[in-house]
Structure 1
Amino acid sequence: MQIATDTLADVIVRLRRAQGQIGGVIQMIEDGRDCKDIVTQLAAASRALDRAGFKIIATGLQQCILEERDGSGQAVIDREQMEKLFLALA
C-alpha cells in the first residue's frame, strides 16, 4: 500500500526528532555521560520511532477503510498487511 507523503508530514517531523535524539545519544556516549541520562534519551528516541510507525499504520488503516467503503477488493488485503505491521510494532 502506498501512502501519500503529504499525509505523513507529521511522521517526518517525528523521525527527524528521533534522528536528532539518536545523534545526541551517540554524543552522550562519546562524552562519557551518565548511564541514566543515556537511557532516558534512548527511551525518548524509541517512543518517537514507535509513534511514527503507529501514525503510518493508522493512516494506512484509515485509507483501507475508505477503500473498503468504496468497494475495493484490494482493501481487504491491504488491511491485513496493516494489521501485521501493527503487530510488528506492538
Structure 2
Amino acid sequence: MSKHHTHATHADIAKRLKRANGHLSSVIAMIEDGKPCTDIAQQLQAVEKAVLQAKRTLIQDHIDHCLDEAVTGLGDTSVVADFKAITKYL
C-alpha cells in the first residue's frame, strides 16, 4: 500500500472538484426539469473541463514531487522529462 501524502495543490484540487460536483448536481436538476439540451450540454462541458483540469493538476503535481524524487537517485531524469512533456496533453 502507498503511504498517505498531501501536496500543496491538493486543497485546490478538492475545491475544484467540490465546485464541479455542485455544477453536476445542477445539471441533473436541469435534466429533470426539462431544460434545453444546449444549456445542459454547455454545463456538462464546464463540469468536464473542471474535472479534467483537476486531473491534470494532480498528475503534474505527482510527477513534480514524487517521480522526480524517485528518479533523482537513479540519475536518469530524461525519463521523467519525457513523461512530463507528454502529460501536458492529457
TM-score tier by shorter-chain length is 0.7 to 0.9
TM-score (norm 2): 0.72
The one of 29, 32, 35 equivalent to 2:31 is 29
Q: What is residue 4 of structure 1 aligned with on the other side?
A: 5
SS at match of 2:17: helix
Q: What do residues 28-87 of structure 1 show as CA deviations (whole Å, max 9, x unaligned)?
A: 001110111100000000000001111110011001113422x169xxxxx6xx87xx5x
Q: Distance in 2 between matches of 1:22 and 1:6?
A: 26
Query: What are the residue-to-residue correspondences of 1:70-85 with 2, within 5 Å?
Result: 71=73
Query: After TM superposition, what 4+ stretches of structure 1 lie above 6 angstroms from structure 2?
Result: none
Q: Distance in 2 between matches of 1:72 and 1:13?
A: 36
Structure 2 residues not aligned, in runs of 5+: none
Structure 1 residues not aligned, in runs of 5+: 74-78
**Identity across aligned pairs (percent)?**
33
Whether contact under 8 Å (1:3, 1:60) holds in the other structure is: no
Q: 1:57 to 1:32 in 2, by over 3 A?
A: same
TM-score (norm 1): 0.72
Q: 1:14 to 1:72 in 2, by over 3 A?
A: farther
Q: CA RMSD in A?
A: 3.0
Corresponding pairs, count: 82
